[in-house]
Structure 1
Amino acid sequence: MTRPITAGVDGSAESLAALAWAGREAVRRGLALRVVQVWRYEEHQGLDAADRDTQGGWVRDAADEAARTLTERHPGLDVTTDVLEGDPVEALTAAAADAELLVLGSRGHGPVVGFLLGSVGQQVIADSVRPVVLVRAGGDASGEAVGREIVVGQHGDPEDSAAALGFAFETAAARGATVRAVRAWTLPPVFAYSPGSLRLLDEAGGLEPYEKKGLAEALEPWQQRFPDVPVVEHVEIGSAGQVLLSVAGRAQLMVVGRRAHRTAVGARIGSVAHGVLHHAECPVAVVPAPAAP
């Protein structure tokens, strides 16, 4: 089954930027685009208060207008529109499950249709089983300045970042872009050393060569699958969030993986993804790791 790219809209500048980004990406990948607008009925006191049908009509008109703007910009693009009433996290998470990827604005507004607020967006990212892309308003008019790269974070063993790397290479192939694969490392505490780890470090020639070897091994299957995608291997000492943000100016898209952490107050997306989402000016794709069997 071919999945569409899905964009959540709410009329804000951020969500319209997200819709424009989603439209361009759908054209590149040859996919359909689904526009989803989620709303909740807000009952107001007063003679001029709109009833449920009237409010729903406003929302449908706004969604249809957003879709019309996109089809005028991309005449061959297959665009459908869905207006959903209910809990925004549940609706958007369900929409993401049926999509190749879900695209959202980084902020929202408004008492009737403002669902793309920070806490809701973060919960959707934490719960989604599919990649979620967050787009800010403003910046480069096309959102993809010539020469900028697809920057992706890699950590651990090859399987730990396989989903994020796969998404980055697929996106770069569709855009004719370069992948900059970033692996950050820090000096381990003395007690973390063991005879086995010391032997591996010695064989690799030291800590930095060991990290470079780890990155090369993770990239190998993707370079074989996408031989035409140029790759820059970037290994740097520092925290992962700081190193990724230090190269964000090179990026037309930043890709990070995530394993959602469940707590008593809900799911958390991890410090690296959280930091990049809040501070990177470029669009950010958060790619979930496959569920453990």
Structure 2
Amino acid sequence: MNAPVERPVDAPLVVGVDGSEPSLRAVDWAADEAALRGVPLRVVYACLWQRYEGAALARDIGKPSTLPLPQDVVGAAARRARVRHPHLRVATDVVFEEPEYALVREGRTAAALVLGTRGRSGIAELLLGSVSLAVAAHAHCPVIVLRGSHDNQAAPPVRGRVVVGVGQEAKESAAVRFAVEEARRRGVILEAVRAWRCPAHETTDHPLLSGEPARLHEERASGELETALRDVPADVAVRRRTVEGPARRVLVDASHEADLLVVGARRREGHVGLQLGRVAHAVLHHSACAVAVVPHREHDDG
């Protein structure tokens, strides 16, 4: 993919809708997020069909016996956002194109993309829809995916915590920068989590040495955590945690006490296919709260 264009200061927050319950909940979150950022909200409906049958949408527009037009879908979503935040600037658009391609293109000039999970039953909502997964894997901007169990709001905070997963790279990552700003906007604690593991071949049966390899790995993880957080402003309260275990499990566990879980995703120039990584892929499917996937381009390392 080509390099993204430079975004204006008031780049809009884009929310993808399709008339389903998950996408309408995503509108609530997106409206809160746009209000927090002081940017416009752009509601986009992309599909290859000109009509969509959505029971929740039909109730919102007061036409239970009709099939709403695409304009009905975005219109109802826009009204929902304005009711939530009357002074929010809201624009709408309908694009007759595959949603994955349309939303990734929208992300080139968006502050962030907000999407819901896609499912019509409790079981279906436990699984991430293919559109959300594809957009999170390819977008040039942060993608916030609302899980089925989330609290329906970005503000006011419910749990008072933004969690960010810190990887092995000893640099401040795009994910950390994003998480810092999200915690600052909400006025909540930033919890930075670094998972670590002691390889099995480094363990020993000697009672006096059994804890040494683990201690060294934990100290290394603590050092990486400090390096990643060295530029966090003083006005952001930070809680640092190193946890032994697989990063996927550690972050999913942490999501139960968070309003937002932030993870990074590397973007390699010229690479095709999903660019998420195992950790991001796992938390998108299993997190108990909203997940922000923040892309990081390898050439950004300088």
TM range (shorter): 0.7 to 0.9
The equivalent residue for 1:163 is 174
How many angstroms apart in 2 are the aligned matches of 1:13 and 1:273?
Answer: 24
What's 2:257 paired with?
250
DSSP-derived class of the 1:158 partner: coil
Cα deviation, residue 246, structure 1: 1.6
- One-letter code aligned to 2:280: A
**CA distance 1:122–1:186, shift in 2 (3 Å):** same
Q: CA deviation at 1:122?
A: 1.2
In 1, the alpha carbon distance for the partners of 2:130 and 2:80 equals: 29
After superposition, the Cα gap between the structure-2 partners of 1:217 and 1:66, relative to the gap in structure 1 and judged at 3 Å, is same
What are the Cα deviations for residues 53-107 of structure 1, in whole angstroms up to 9, with x where unaligned? xx99701112112101211221110000011011211101001111010000011
Moved more, 98-107 or 205-214: 205-214
Q: Which amino acid aligns with 1:36?
A: V
Between the aligned partners of 2:80 and 2:15, the Cα distance in structure 1 is 14
Q: Offset of 1:213 from its aligned partner?
A: 1.3
Count of aligned positions: 261
In the alignment, what sits opposite 1:49?
Answer: none
Q: How does 1:10-25 map to 2 (within 5 A)?
A: 10-25=18-33
- Equivalent in the alignment of 2:286: 279
2:141 maps to a residue whose letter is R
Indicate if the aligned counterparts of 1:102 and 1:131 stay in contact, CA closer than 8 A. Answer: yes
Report deviation, 1:234. Answer: 0.6
Aligned partner of 1:196 in structure 2 is none
Root-mean-square deviation (Å): 2.8
* AA at the equivalent of 1:218: A
Counterpart Cα distance in 1 of 2:138 and 2:152: 31
| Aligned partner letter, 2:230 | E
Matches within 5 A, 1:83-122: 83-108=94-119, 118-122=129-133
Q: Are the aligned partners of 1:17 and 1:136 in contact in 2 as well (CA < 8 Å)?
A: no
Q: Deviations over 1:175-202 (max 9, x none)?
A: 00111100011113659xxxxxxxxx99
> Following the alignment from structure 1 to structure 2, what is the Cα–Cα distance between the partners of residues 265 and 72?
41
- CA–CA separation in structure 1 for the residues paired with 2:29 and 2:292: 12
Cα distance, 1:265–1:228 mapped onto 2, change above 3 Å? closer
2:253 aligned with 1:241, yes or no?
Answer: no
Structure 2 residue corresponding to 1:227, chosen from 210, 234, 245: 234
SS of the residue corresponding to residue 118 of structure 2 reads coil
Map 1:71-86 → 2, pairs under 5 A: 71-86=82-97
In structure 2, C-alpha distance between the alignment counterparts of 1:41 and 1:146, rounded to whole Å: 37
Counterpart among 62, 83, 89 of residue 73 in structure 2: 62
In structure 1, the gaps of 5 or more residues are 44-54, 110-115, 192-200
CA distance in 2 between partners of 1:237 and 1:262 (Å): 33
Give the SS at the match of 1:157.
coil
Instruction: Identify unmatched segments of 5+ residues in structure 2.
Output: 1-7, 52-65, 121-126, 203-211
The verdict on how the C-alpha distance between 1:266 and 1:82 changes in structure 2, with shifts beyond 3 A counting, is: same
For the 8 Å contact 1:181–1:232, the answer to whether it is kept is: yes
Return the alpha-carbon distance in structure 2 between the equivalents of residues 270 and 117 of structure 1: 15
Q: Scaled by the length of structure 2, what TM-score is found?
A: 0.79
- The 1:262–1:106 alpha-carbon spacing in structure 2 relative to 1, beyond 3 Å, is farther
Which residue, 225, 230, 234 being the options, matches 1:215? 225
Q: Secondary structure at the match of 2:230?
A: helix
Deviation at 1:260, TM superposition (A): 5.0
- Deviation of 1:262 after TM superposition, in Å, equals 9.8
Give the Cα–Cα distance (whole angstroms) in 2 for the partners of residues 42 and 82 of structure 1.
13
Contact 2:151 2:158 (C-alpha < 8 Å) held by counterparts = no
Percent identity of paired positions between Structure 1 and Structure 2: 39
- For structure 1, which segment, 133-142 or 210-219, has the greater mean C-alpha deviation from structure 2 after superposition? 133-142
CA contact (8 A) 1:255 1:287 kept: yes
Distance 1:31 1:263 in 2: 32
